[in-house]
Amino acid sequence: MKLKLNVLTIILLPVHLLITIYSALIFIPWYFLTNAKKKNAMAKRIKAKPTSDKPGSPYRSVTHFDSLAVIDIPGADTLDKLFDHAVSKFGKKDSLGTREILSEENEMQPNGKVFKKLILGNYKWMNYLEVNRRVNNFGSGLTALGLKPKNTIAIFCETRAEWMIAAQTCFKYNFPLVTLYATLGKEAVVHGLNESEASYLITSVELLESKLKTALLDINCVKHIIYVDNKAINKAEYPEGFEIHSMQSVEELGSNPENLGIPPSRPTPSDMAIVMYTSGSTGRPKGVMMHHSNLIAGMTGQCERIPGLGPKDTYIGYLPLAHVLELTAEISCFTYGCRIGYSSPLTLSDQSSKIKKGSKGDCTVLKPTLMAAVPEIMDRIYKNVMSKVQEMNYIQKTLFKIGYDYKLEQIKKGYDAPLCNLLLFKKVKALLGGNVRMMLSGGAPLSPQTHRFMNVCFCCPIGQGYGLTESCGAGTVTEVTDYTTGRVGAPLICCEIKLKDWQE
């Protein structure tokens, strides 16, 4: 065995020699062509400083030290103005996309359980003008049903295009939107709906039948229920006192000339945009009130951390839109002309649990350039890839390790390894479609090990952030030039941060 290892080590000597020669030959032209010196200087510069010499004073970004950023696009000081700006600028460009369900099959697992497996088609896209038409029709339809400006409407639904259409409608017509996680249990949903006094509720057929049907008699204020699916339901099975509509029927009502002609009551920056209920991880979900001005300022800071955000980008939306990180990310992408393709954790990759073997997951089809992820998902990717590496033979495994370690050293210096990207990590990158240029991580700390793995194997920076629902998701995000781990970056240009002792 020892002799075998010695022979293999000798065989791999030319590999080490080639790497040394490659590094010597390629470094100088690569260094100047990629402007590596400037990137290193950007990464190492001072990014924030205290607002005064007084101990314990808050920190601000050095680029907006004298005044915090409150608006990104001139004149767009409310969310509906961001929407109008995007529609006028990107009209016929693809906006929101959803994959067709070609077939659904039951598949028996080795343990005897039956899983539903999907065969999905390509993405079908709505352009900005089509989204705008649906927003206008839905808003006019809700108005015709009796919903008044500044009266709350709730959404309890999975992440999908209809969620975003409903949200943009509420922003435009000044209906404060109450958001509830689709994963919440009956008691938490009833609490949120009763506390917010929402009289209208948007949901899906699945959630209506699995969670809401048995809870309706405990809900005090809801009178109208709107389901987003193109499915028929038996309304006779539901208690009296509730009017149940499909989203399509509300849009058709709104498209009538007598309804569509009524202009929306537009919001002001100080108007309530969202009441966002938390996930309830520390007890009962809490409703966080956000004004238009809060969200505009928060997204201004977040967008500054994503260089080159624009129509060439494609974002994959699969995290809960009831989470402030996902909602602000999608609104920002919509504003800047990025396509948003919808997905779910169960269909994200070729190996996802709802994708039939041999079929393609959403990332493979969509090929996103931007995505947000929670550490749990990145940890799962890391474990899956490393388990595949362990199945390799000695030479393959050693070559992978040599390439991994070499690129890791380059990254720590602020450089890259384009040949390793091409030869070793191309297949790993393909797990997320192959085009991801930046990922945003939030919701929990990302381990340095997983962070480095994503940098090396997916060949993109990870923007790790810290924020709260109460701060509209804004707080800190690392810059794309910062490849350090265990940090969440400097304060965004829209906020200041103060560290304070908290007595337990």
Of 298, 321, 340, the last residue of a domain is 298
The answer to whether residue 90 sits within a structural domain is no
Which alpha helices (H) appear in 197-261, and where do they start and end? 205-207, 247-255, 257-260
Q: What is the pLDDT of residue 13?
A: 64
What is the b/e burial string over 137-161, where b = at least 16 CB atoms within 10 angstroms of the residue's CB? bbbbbbbbbebeeeebbbbbbbbbb
Do 265 and 141 share a structural domain? yes
User: Which stretches of 261-357 are DSSP H helices?
Assistant: 292-304, 324-335
The answer to whether position 369 is within a domain reads no
Number of H helices, E strands in the chain: 17, 17
One domain, residues 55 and 139: no
112 and 60 together in one domain: no
Residues of the chain predicted below pLDDT 50: 1, 3-5
**Is 192 a member of any domain?**
yes
pLDDT tens track for 327-357: 999 999 999 999 999 999 999 999 898 999 8
Q: Give 72-77's long-range contacts (Cβ < 8 A, gap of 24+).
A: 72/296, 72/299, 72/300, 72/303, 72/335, 73/335, 76/296, 77/269, 77/292, 77/293, 77/296
Residue 53 in domain: yes
Which amino acid is located at 263 in the chain?
Answer: P
SS3 453: helix
Taking alpha carbons only, the member of 354, 377, 286 closest to residue 117 is 354
Quote the distance between the C-alpha of residue 182 and its chain's center.
16
Q: Are residues 172 and 284 in the same domain?
A: yes
Q: What is the pLDDT of residue 5?
A: 46
Structural domain boundaries enclosing 231: 101-298
Helix (H, G, I), strand (E, B) or coil at 287: strand
pLDDT (0 to 100) of residue 110:
77
**Closest to 434 measured CA to CA, from 499, 354, 372, 365:** 365
Q: What is the pLDDT of residues 125-167, one digit of tens each?
A: 999 999 999 999 999 999 999 999 999 999 999 999 999 999 9
In this structure, the strands spanning 272-277 and 287-291 are antiparallel
Does residue 381 sit in the same domain as residue 460?
Answer: yes
User: Is residue 114 domain-shared with residue 21, that is, in the same domain?
Assistant: no
- 289 and 157 in a single domain? The answer is yes
Residue 81 within any structural domain of the chain:
no
Q: Which of 474, 473, 454, 470 is nearest to 462 (CA)?
A: 454
The Cα–Cα gap between 438 and 305 comes to 11
* % residues pLDDT > 70 (the chain): 93
Q: Using CA atoms in the order 219, 222, 224, 227, what is the torsion angle rounded to 10 degrees?
A: -60
- The reply to whether 207 and 141 lie within a common domain is yes
The residue ranges of DSSP E strands in 10-84, in sequence order, are 48-50, 59-61
User: What is the DSSP secondary structure assignment for residue 112, as one 8-state letter?
Assistant: S
Q: Residue 313: inside a domain, yes or no? A: no
Q: How far apart are CA 390 and CA 87, in angstroms?
A: 49
pLDDT of residue 176: 98
Number of folded domains in the chain?
Answer: 2
Which of residues 264, 298, 332 is at a domain's end? Answer: 298
- Specify the pLDDT at position 232: 85
User: Does the reported pTM lie above 0.85?
Assistant: yes
288 shares a domain with 156: yes
**Angle, helix 161-173 to helix 128-145, in steps of 10 degrees:** 60
Residue 29 lies in a domain: yes
User: Does 273 lie in the same domain as 175?
Assistant: yes
Q: Which of 271, 298, 325 is the last residue of a domain?
A: 298
CATH number at residue 132: 3.40.50.12780
Q: Could you tell me if 123 and 272 lie in one domain?
A: yes
Check whether residue 213 and residue 273 sit in a common domain: yes
> Is residue 108 in some structural domain?
yes
The radius of gyration computed from the CA coordinates of the chain, to the nearest angstrom, equals 25
